[in-house]
Structure 1
Amino acid sequence: MRRRWTGLMTAACLVVTAAPSLAVAAPAVHTGQQRPAAASDEATDYCRGQCHDILPPGANGSATAAQIILNKLTGAKPKHTDDQLGKYADLVDEYAGLTNGKLSTFFNDASFGVPDDQVESRKNPGGRKDVTITRDKTGIPHIKGTTRAGTEYGAGYAAGQDRLWMMDVFRHIGRGRLTSFAGGAEGNRQLEQQFYLGGAYKESELQAQVDRVRDSGPRGRQAYEDVTAYLAGLNRYIDDAKKGLYFPGEYDLTGNADILTGEGIEPFKATDLVAIGTVISALFGSGGGDQVAAALVKQAAERKYGKEKGEKVYEAFRMQNDPEADLTLHDGQRFDYAASPEHPRGVAMPDEGSVTEQQVVYDPTGSAAQGKAAKRAAGKPAAGTGDAGRAAKEQAATSDANLRHKPELAEAKDTLADGVLPRDLFARKHGMSNALVVSGKHTDTGNPVAVFGPQTGYFAPQLLMLQEIQGPGLSARGAAFAGLNLYVQLGRGKDYAWSATSANQNMTDTYAVELCNTDGSPATKDSTAYLFHGTCTPMEKLVRENAWRPTIADGTKAGSYKLVAHRTKYGVVRYRATIDGKPVAYTTLRSTYQHEVDTLIGFQMFNDPDAVTGPESFQKAASRIGYTFNWFYADAQHTAYYNSGLNPTRARGVDPNLPIRASEETEWRGWDPGTNTVPNTPFAAHPHDIDQDYYESWNNKIAEGYTVAGFGDGPVYRSNLLDDRIKAQISGGKKVSRASLTRAMEDAAVTDLRGEAVLPLLLKVIDTEKVTDPDQKEAVDSLRGWLEDGAKRKQTGPGSKTYAHAGAIRLMDAWWPLLVKDEFRPNLGTGLYDALTRALQIDETPSTPGDGVGHKGSAFQQGWWSYVHKDLRAVLGEQVPGAAPVKFCGAGDVAQCRQTLLNALEKAAQTPAEKTYPGDDVCKPGDQWCADSIQQRPLGGITDDLTHWQNRPTYQQVVQFPDHR
């Protein structure tokens, strides 16, 4: 052990040259894997320099142990670790004067290929002559192959160079084995537990997904061959990294590899990619599953107001098809899906007070059995374990005394001590946004303009990676999730670009299965058998035996537990309850469960220039994707939209927005319970469109009649910030440019939604009488001045780290939760109010932690702004479509409502900044700018600077194609 640490510290003192940094490339499927390309076969680029993109912090996501320690000693970082962070952040202060010519200041040139003066390195990975990885001066890999197999080999090799550690983390999460790999820190345990019930698989089931795609036809076979070549390249990189001792230092810092040999890094196999895919699917590509929470709201409303009126109150807050909701397809298109029927059958409402969460953690010892962690262990999300080889045994033997003499190493370990990923990664759905796409009839050149990208959170390194891939049947540049980067998932092809936002339509239903015991004894809520088609059937018990070694940096002791999932034909058990006194289990059945890999074909087609030749063929490719996404497309002539997702067809009369009694009569039509296979609804039934005047999306409602999961999709949604700005740009015959549409996006990105959309109504109520109290008047005037200046959260100047209108912003942040509570809780009552706040959080400011994690960038997606907006208009006597049958603020009296708002405002004014912005591990209490700021949350040993808040996609493209094939 002593020799191991000595070697590590010696390495830190040397001049370290990083291994060439490679961001993973993503190939697309085509027949003829070994088809050679002619020497002069260059990818034609129809964008003519008018395609740009950006992905902070940088292309390189790898650092050796020596580099990590050097970072702690001096702040030095490996090359290309953060060289895209500055220009991404600087747009906040410079967007007002943005022109087309200045786009390259804030974005990368996303043209195909690398000009000679921009080449940083070239490599033939594994010594192969059929693929070259050319890295440009931003560190982005451009992978070009003369054979398909060679191209994919290069993609896998590049993936290892830039994201090996992160990919390893995600394959362990996907199997419920994070803690054994990354340590038993509380954050890791929570994360592992949160994910396990959503993706519990047997190893044979992961392999079955691979085999099913392989045997599904020519494209499936090609995908399988691509995976095989990709894995060969990835595993060759692992071998090279071990021999060269330039593998990621996190392996050594967590005890997973020996610094002198690299022993402990396991090769990847196809099922590892499936495990990674289940994680990404859970994060960004599924909708529904929250029907129990909705049922509790409905029950509370009926208890408070009676059945008939309570039903109307529930519907008003659910906002299933609110007539005022912002629609992506706004030209009168209608697509009916997943709405609640007027007289539903088979609704499974629980007995009052009977719902309990399903236990997932059993037999905890050590750290997991201590303090708060023990209380969370039963039925709460957490973390898991696995083998770490000889390095793990050595790590367990390392003493605290040894580390005290190596403070930099201790600091490097401390970076990973609380868990390798944010605790809220799986606790809630993440917004994947946004998109602004304008038809050519409204643009400066007559060619469509698109500014779009996924809002996938901020990490170091990012979950996504930038790459270009060129080979037989493959031609694309863009971003892909690490470990799934066989193909570019969001980016551009020869003469088209595409992107996505999360759609969140309901494809996950909750079933109530009647419990029983196979021995015929009376069932209880703890029974582990259920009725399936009239037969008492044992639940499958999927168990992960997890044990972790000590985490020296934070004193975490060794520990262990079992993760257990109880699985039925109707999905995994999430809750237990009684219905009319009889015990039931509530399960969640997701249509893509056991079918994550099927989606690979759609991405394959996106990358194939022969498969996507225009908007119609793009829509056909998008229809092959099972995840719930809004897909946007632009070329030189057309724009298009398609909503993907494996949408099941429900039985007639079933309400998919509430729990359903499990029976043959209420099952999905055409469903095969043996393989969880269900036919998708027809292509034409999915929302789709070509050449609408413009499209905008920020996870809002898609089209009239198309029901999305969740509460609160009403007249105020963050997509309104985009919609209003696009309308202003095309009004009166004005023309949109790449720069002007980017300005619109960024202006929305620094705007407080509550300030722009709801504050005018709050002031309208207050202005029904003159404010005479001097303190109240000062607060009101402050808010009014902020509103008149655009309700921005923007600093006074570059680098000031102080907001203009800082006092008004602090007032709004403190006022909003107080006014919502005082406006609604007196009439709703505590029970209904609490049920509603569990279904939809009150607020989501930039500084709102959200499940314990702040600094996330994405803001104003979840909140009660539509509820406040409708209620205040009703109190003011306006006609409000879709309003609740009850007026809440001041019980409907304007004067009382006004006083309620002013009383809450007075409390807000007296609230110290330290309480509004309580501080955390990177900010002091009361520091407003810091509380809002974006943190690239470390997934490894390297950390980055905080940057100014902006509500913007993580990866973003700005494109306008002047030419087409």
Structure 2
Amino acid sequence: MRRRTARLRTLTMSAALALGASLLLAPGPGAAAAAEPPPATDYCGDNCADILPPGANGGATLAEILSHRAFGTRPPHADDQLGPYDALSSGYPGLTDDRLTEFFNDASFGVRADQVASVTRPRDDVTITRDKKYGIPHIQGSTRYGTEFGAGFAAGQDRLWLIDLFRHIGRGELTSFAGGAPANQGLEQQFWPQAPYTEQDLQRQVEYIKSTQGERGKQAMADAQAYIDGLNAYREKSKNGRYFPGEYVLTGKIDAITNAGEIEPFKITDMIALASVVGGLFGNGGGGEVESALSLLAAQQRYGVEKGSEIWETFRARNDPETVQTVHDGTSFPYAGKPEKARGTALPDPGSVAREQLVHDREGGARKGAGTAEDPVRVPKRLKPLQGLFDDGVLPADLFGGAAANPAQRKGMSNALVVSGKHTASGHPVAVFGPQTGYFAPQLLMQQELQGPGISARGVSFAGVGMYVQLGRGQDYAWSATSATQDITDTYAVELCAPGGGTPGKDATHYLYRGSCTPMEKLERKNAWKPTVADSTPAGSYRMQVFRTKYGIVTHRATVDGKPVAYVSLRSTYRHEADSIIGFQMLNDPGYVKDAASFKKAAENISYAFNWFYADSRDTAYYNSGANPRRAKDIDPSFPVHARQAYEWQDFDPADNTSAQTPPAEHPQSVNQDYYVSWNNKQAKDFSAAGFGMGAVHRGDLLDDRVRGLVEKGGVTRASLTRAMAEAAVTDLRGEQVLPELLKVVRGKPVDDPRLARAVQQLEAWQKAGAQRRETAPGSRTYAHPDAVRIMDAWWPRLIEAMFERGLGSGLYGSLTAQLGVDEAPSAGHGPTGAHAGSAFQYGWWGYADKDLRTVLGEPVRGWTEDAYCGGGTRDACRDALLGALAEAAAEPAAKVYPGDASCKAGDQWCADAVIHRALGGITHRAVQWQNRPTYQQVVEFPRHR
């Protein structure tokens, strides 16, 4: 193995010019020349690789956007990682360790001298070196401030427009910033109510970190300020140099002719707003207790209280004994389970629940069906042909799945495969892991390397909060995460009251807090917009309004035992959006993380709900992070709870939303288990996830089955583990895990109808071939078994209805399907990030179907009802129901199964599944073959350790 000692080389001016580099000399306040730091030793050699499509460069000037629109050209490094990423779906069967760099980047530290494309020095104490191949920024600072300043400056170069978008989303001001398209309205309406902060709230969170987190907290905020300073330095230079992102012209922020206009300066509080969006997307868990209560009431109405509660618990599957688990050695980590006798549960009176109104005073383009645009922002005539560039809004309405019925299931992404050195060919651990954050142009994540005092890491960070690498590698270790979705959000029923006495109505704005009638705090966001080149929505305005209590944000109104209440949502990370910065600071610090134990200590400081994975040359480790509240005794977290002091989180203080939390030892964790897999599945025995869906069949099975097989065989390599991931990424979960049972039932007797017999044969052939949705050859845009895939896509929702609706009753069936959608195929227009998002098979009824079919077949089943729902429990009746649904599915033409959208023609199966990068600006990219795979991904195997 070749040993590499890498350094980020600071070139002289003459060397830089000789290479054709662009050198920006801009010493800022406090800049000071310093001795060049010693090189960072890279203990991975050539064994670390990564990939992030479409490309590192997420910026485009107006000229580049116009050229892209007219001629299809793209800025350098905008899409050069898309091809290798796409190719793995077809190329994985022949993958070897030597061929990994055909599909991944070399993720070594530094840039070799012959690979330097440009060098930028925004201050004397920092250098940003970009490589020729992918243009990734390698930032080396001789001072801590300079390092972080450089990180902010590079973020401006690569993601200025995106960062600006997301700070406005976090503040609930997207429409005022980017136009009133329905998609933009939907986004701010989705995110702002989760974290409706005032400027004082945001600043208080900054001060909280400084005052409560010791020296690391003070350093973190100093690093954040340096990052903001660097971002602002680039903002000013790009504006003065007229090379700022062209979207500022297209949305009317800057005049293309006069350069009049402004890019608002960034503030440290913007990072808190950004963090609330990122955390809300990928690091929250829980919520949905009102919807759970409604489905329980539906079950009780159908079957009576005792039987209905039993059936509801069966579908809730809080601790399904058959589900795949990350910690699979039987270790128990009890959390958020069902108490034997619950206290304080506040179920609503039937028919009394109403969702709180968010939007008020709609005017003009905010009204449904508003007319023609008037008084648009002035745009030069030569830009008029671009009208319609973003006609559907800068961001699509279903960008993050919309407002799902159960908030606990809005997200849940990323996967990890980690194998202990005991089972690898080299004797060193191997890991293939990364976050599945959707596909956007530019990407939400950005690549960077940071080298400076107390910082040594390479990987990715979310744009705008990138003062540290959030997922990546250090000198001799790597780490990654998956969304954990454990329950850190609860719903309280606050009793409404009338000040001075009297009887309150359901719309009352006062509530009882520890015996006192207390006014709710009304928070508002007023947005108004004019049409721009980027948005043809008519001028309009509206007002968003939420009420905040000491127990959280009002989400619903109802009555409980005849008394009016407001249901409010309280999550433990509310008012603590950036506290996790301490954990990331530790993960980037080579002086802190030196082994598995110190890695777990760092992960303990991350408040959001994530599963963290670690590998170095000797050890593997897993730790589940999150601010898990310590609840009062015998509280059932699946349902709303009365807002009384006896039922509050232990040591609850509403001033900063603090409470007692479960200690680190009670979080699921492990060191050197034979292997770990995670695809947002259950963490460990007795650790109850939020919401429905952790059942007998989970997409985690696609990984677990394959990795377990590799471990049993031994000699695991980077290539073999990558192949396991890639094969799972193109496999239909239903076809691999449930179709065998379906075929057993259907084949119980001969299928006489020729059309049905043909459909069954096609499904059998597909299942035997691996139930994959993969091209016959690179670029063919055709699956090997297209008819079988079409039949399964059409059959699944029909067969679930045929199996369960009659037995459950339409009311309960509808309530349960609102809790957990029946399907999430690649072509579905829903899910964590909407259509064409890659991520699939996260939530669905496949586990229910599998258990019920095994019950029908008389096979062993744990954690299910005694009698099957399908066919009333009889095999023949179940078979008839399945065949009836299959007949309808087989007859449904492709044009109806895949109805088409703005990107695909009706009936185009490949395109319906395809991954399409959603444009967040003026540059778009080609569709690529479907892969259910992390967006950013690392493949690592460290041969040495410090």
Tell whether the structures are fold-level matches, with TM greater than 0.5: yes
CA contact under 8 A between 1:923 and 1:931: conserved in structure 2?
yes
Query: Separation in 1 of the partners of 2:34 and 2:241?
Result: 33
| Pairing 1:141–2:118 present | no
CA contact under 8 A between 2:228 and 2:268: conserved in structure 1?
yes
Q: 2:218 is matched with which residue?
A: 221
Shift of 1:308: 1.5
Q: 1:379 is matched with which residue?
A: none
Q: Equivalent of 2:770, from 771, 775, 790? A: 790
Query: Separation in 2 of the partners of 1:575 and 1:326?
Result: 34
TM score, norm. by length of structure 1: 0.92
Q: 1:681 is matched with which residue?
A: 662
CA contact under 8 A between 2:187 and 2:397: conserved in structure 1?
no
Change (3 A) 1:718 1:418: closer
| Pairing 1:310–2:292 present | no
Q: Equivalent of 2:471, from 478, 482, 490? A: 490
Q: Deviations over 1:232-260 (max 9, x none)?
A: 11111011001110000111101122234
Query: Separation in 1 of the partners of 2:121 and 2:313?
Result: 61
Shift of 1:394: 9.1
Q: Equivalent of 1:41, from 38, 41, 48? A: 38
| Pairing 1:111–2:108 present | yes
Q: Equivalent of 1:168, from 164, 169, 173? A: 164
Shift of 1:230: 1.0
Structure 1 letter corresponding to 2:565:
V
Change (3 A) 1:727 1:101: same
SS, match of residue 816 in structure 2: helix
Change (3 A) 1:35 1:294: farther
| Pairing 1:366–2:385 present | no
Change (3 A) 1:659 1:172: same
CA contact under 8 A between 1:415 and 1:938: conserved in structure 2?
no
Q: What are the residue-to-residue correspondences of 1:769-808 with 2, within 5 Å?
A: 769-808=749-788
Shift of 1:36: 9.1
Q: 1:157 is matched with which residue?
A: 153
Structure 2 letter corresponding to 1:460:
A
Shift of 1:189: 0.5
Taking only aligned residues, the RMSD between alpha carbons, in angstroms, comes to 2.0
Query: Separation in 1 of the partners of 2:156 and 2:35?
Result: 29
Query: Separation in 1 of the partners of 2:40 and 2:165?
Result: 35
Q: Deviations over 1:783-832 (max 9, x none)?
A: 00000100000111110001110000000000000000111001111110
Change (3 A) 1:272 1:262: farther
| Pairing 1:92–2:72 present | no
Query: Separation in 2 of the partners of 1:419 and 1:894?
Result: 45
CA contact under 8 A between 2:23 and 2:118: conserved in structure 1?
no
Query: Separation in 1 of the partners of 2:231 and 2:121?
Result: 14
Q: Deviations over 1:456-497 (max 9, x none)?
A: 000001100011000000000001000010000000000000
Q: What are the residue-to-residue correspondences of 1:819-834 with 2, within 5 Å?
A: 819-834=799-814
Q: Deviations over 1:880-928 (max 9, x none)?
A: 1100244210010100000100010000011111111010000000100
% same residue: 56
Query: Separation in 1 of the partners of 2:604 and 2:269?
Result: 24
Gaps of 5+ in 1: 1-17, 23-32, 374-391
Shift of 1:875: 1.4
Change (3 A) 1:430 1:155: same
| Pairing 1:210–2:190 present | no
Q: Equivalent of 2:702, from 718, 721, 724? A: 721
| Pairing 1:744–2:724 present | yes
| Pairing 1:937–2:918 present | yes
CA contact under 8 A between 1:712 and 1:864: conserved in structure 2?
yes
Structure 1 letter corresponding to 2:353:
V
Q: 1:61 is matched with which residue?
A: 58
Change (3 A) 1:37 1:491: farther
Query: Separation in 1 of the partners of 2:727 and 2:370?
Result: 42
CA contact under 8 A between 2:675 and 2:711: conserved in structure 1?
no
Q: Equivalent of 1:660, from 641, 646, 655? A: 641
CA contact under 8 A between 2:128 and 2:137: conserved in structure 1?
no
Q: Deviations over 1:375-399 (max 9, x none)?
A: xxxxxxxxxxxxxxxxx9995345x
SS, match of residue 564 in structure 2: strand
SS, match of residue 203 in structure 2: helix
CA contact under 8 A between 2:181 and 2:392: conserved in structure 1?
no
Change (3 A) 1:145 1:600: same
Q: Deviations over 1:179-199 (max 9, x none)?
A: 000100000001111112101
SS, match of residue 949 in structure 1: coil
Shift of 1:413: 4.4
SS, match of residue 665 in structure 1: helix
Q: Deviations over 1:252-286 (max 9, x none)?
A: 10112223426220110100011000000110111
Shift of 1:876: 1.4
Shift of 1:415: 6.8
| Pairing 1:75–2:72 present | yes
CA contact under 8 A between 1:213 and 1:224: conserved in structure 2?
yes
Q: 1:731 is matched with which residue?
A: 712
SS, match of residue 869 in structure 1: helix
TM score, norm. by length of structure 2: 0.94
Q: Equivalent of 1:950, from 916, 923, 931? A: 931
Query: Separation in 1 of the partners of 2:652 and 2:31?
Result: 39
Q: Equivalent of 1:258, from 255, 260, 268? A: 255
SS, match of residue 745 in structure 1: helix
Query: Separation in 2 of the partners of 1:299 and 1:964?
Result: 57
Change (3 A) 1:752 1:741: same
Shift of 1:354: 1.2
Query: Separation in 2 of the partners of 1:79 and 1:850?
Result: 33
| Pairing 1:628–2:609 present | yes
CA contact under 8 A between 1:363 and 1:562: conserved in structure 2?
yes
- Count of residues in Structure 1 that have an aligned counterpart in Structure 2: 914
Shift of 1:512: 0.7
Shift of 1:597: 1.4
CA contact under 8 A between 1:186 and 1:418: conserved in structure 2?
no
SS, match of residue 412 in structure 1: coil
CA contact under 8 A between 1:420 and 1:938: conserved in structure 2?
no
Q: 2:13 is matched with which residue?
A: none
Q: 1:556 is matched with which residue?
A: 537
Q: 1:200 is matched with which residue?
A: 196
Change (3 A) 1:426 1:617: farther
Query: Separation in 1 of the partners of 2:499 and 2:269?
Result: 34
Query: Separation in 2 of the partners of 1:142 and 1:430?
Result: 31
Shift of 1:432: 2.5
Structure 2 letter corresponding to 1:279:
V
Structure 2 letter corresponding to 1:73:
A
Shift of 1:332: 1.2
Q: Deviations over 1:76-125 (max 9, x none)?
A: 00000000000000001100000000000100000000011211111101
Shift of 1:433: 1.0
SS, match of residue 650 in structure 1: coil
Gaps of 5+ in 2: 1-19, 25-29
Structure 2 letter corresponding to 1:422:
L
Query: Separation in 2 of the partners of 1:118 and 1:346?
Result: 64
Query: Separation in 2 of the partners of 1:834 and 1:416?
Result: 32
Structure 1 letter corresponding to 2:325:
L
Shift of 1:63: 0.4
Query: Separation in 2 of the partners of 1:211 and 1:627?
Result: 19
Change (3 A) 1:476 1:426: farther
SS, match of residue 69 in structure 1: helix
Q: Equivalent of 1:279, from 277, 280, 286? A: 277
Query: Separation in 2 of the partners of 1:903 and 1:703?
Result: 39
Q: 1:10 is matched with which residue?
A: none
SS, match of residue 530 in structure 1: strand
Query: Separation in 2 of the partners of 1:455 and 1:63?
Result: 25
CA contact under 8 A between 1:514 and 1:585: conserved in structure 2?
yes
Query: Separation in 2 of the partners of 1:340 and 1:35?
Result: 59
